[in-house]
Each structure stands twice: as C-alpha cells, then as structure tokens.
Amino acid sequence: MQGQVPGAQAAQPSPVAQQIQVQTQPQTVVIQQQAPQQTIQVQVQQQQVVQNSVKIDQTQQLSSVGLLELAHREYQAVDYENAERHCMQLWRQESNNTGVLLLLSSIHFQCRRLDKSAQFSTLAIKQNPLLAEAYSNLGNVYKERGQLQEALENYRHAVRLKPDFIDGYINLAAALVAARDMEQAVQAYVTALQYNPDLYCVRSDLGNLLKALGRLDEAKACYLKAIETRPDFAVAWSNLGCVFNAQGEIWLAIHHFEKAVALDPNFLDAYINLGNVLKEARIFD
C-alpha cells in the first residue's frame, strides 16, 4: 500500500572540533605532528555525525511508515477524523507521498467531500501519472457527480495501466451498469473474477446482473459458486431463492429463503422474499 523521512536534527559542535579551533601551538613541528591526528579526529567525528543522522532518519522513517499504517487501520475502522489527522501530519512531512495522497482521497470521498477527494487524486496523478489507483479514485468522484462518461474514462484508463487491478474492474462494472451498458458490465465483472475467483460478493453481483438480463441459469451458477466459496453468505442464498422462484421452483425458493434468514436473522429482504413466495404458494403459518 512510502514512508516519510523528516529532516534530521542539526548536530551540535563536537568537543574535538572546539579544541582544534582554539589550538594555538606556535611550534610548527607540533602543529605538523598534531594536524594528521586532528584531521583524523574531525573525519571520525563527521562520520559519527553522518551515522547518527542516518539512524535518526531511519527511526523517523519507520515512525512515519507506522503512522501511515495507523491511518489505514483507522480508515478501515471508519475513524475518518483520526485517519485524516494522521495523513495530514504525514503529508506536511512529505507532500509527494502518493500513498498518503491516495488515502486522503479515499477519506474525503467517504466523507462526501468530493472536491477534496478529486484534489488529492489529481495530486497523486501529478506525482505518478501511471498510478492506476488514483485514476480509479477520480472516477469514483465523477460517478458520484453523475458524470458517467468521465468516470468510465478514468476507470478504463486505470485498468489499462494496471491490467490486474481488480477494484478498477469492479468500479468500471458499476459505472457501466449505471450507463445501462450491461454486456460490458458483465465482462468487467468476469475479468475481475478471473484475477480472483474467490470474490463471492462480486460473484453474487454478477449473478444479479445476469438475472436482470434474464440469463437465469448463468445467474444460478454464480450464486451457487458464491455459496461454495462462502457457505454462510446469506445474500447469495436469498438471491438463489429468487432465481428458483422465477423458474417456478417454489419449494426450492422457500428452502433458500429460509436458509438466508437462518444465517442472518436481521436480513429484511430475505424475510420479504420468503413472505411473498409463501403467499404465492398459499402457505400461511
């Protein structure tokens, strides 16, 4: 997911250097004899200062990397305020850190500050024009604003830059659905799943799209694969129940809706689906 190296503290004058500065030996021989020793002492002293500075830099770099990791954890925990605070602290230390810029872009997007999200995505692109994630983040802003053409352009550019960019394909698919380009959306989902077949949520989304296109057997296969990957994924059980219901398999539909609510007792849509199919089957209990 680029650590920052704050400036090292200025080294204080060393005792050896001070002694050399006040050396007033009048005898040339003494000076000639002492000069090589003094030179060696100064060189050693300077080497120690450099080594100490490197150690300070490395310590501060590790600290900065740790702070960025903390900001990522806070972002994942939906603690956007602290995530932003730590990112801004890092950004002031190293304004060209693309990892920080991307995270700030994501934080502002989640907080619905679209202008700022776009600003940090653009800054990241300026630092690295080949950074696929920045184009994808910028595409998210355009999509949220309803500028689908601009969103699609950024998503497509992102996956061209990074052909295995799974999130880019998922974002592209969602934008294509919004633009009513269903077949291209199917292809985007399929490509994402080629890179990671275990994405059960994406597999279920693909099933939903295929179901909307009337391709029920393909949709069923997607839901079954999602359940195979994650047996406790209640959404896929409910979606599969919808397919069985559409195919007239009422008892199979009931079974899958019941399984969905058993897995997730708070799954309102599954209860509604179950109630509807029981009503259609005239089963009242």
Would you say residue 166 has pLDDT above 80? yes
What's the rounded mean pLDDT across residues 164-177?
98
Looking at the structure, do residues 179 and 220 belong to the same domain, yes or no?
A: no
Dig out the tokens for 66 from the structure: 């740790």
* Residue showing tokens 């550019």: 157
Domain boundary pick from 196, 225, 247: 196
Domain boundary pick from 125, 142, 169: 125
Angle between helices 98-110 and 114-127 (to 10 degrees): 160
Indicate the average pLDDT of the chain. 83
Domain boundary pick from 125, 148, 168: 125
pLDDT of residue 281: 79
pLDDT of residue 2: 37
Give me the domain span that covers residue 223: 216-285
Look up residue 10 and give its amino acid. A
How many Cβ atoms from other residues are within 10 Å of residue 95's Cβ? Answer: 12
Which of these ranges, 86-90, 148-152, 176-180, has the smallest mean pLDDT? 86-90
- 231-266 confidence digits (pLDDT tens): 999 999 999 999 999 999 999 999 999 999 999 999
Q: Are 154 and 161 in contact (CB under 8 A)?
A: no
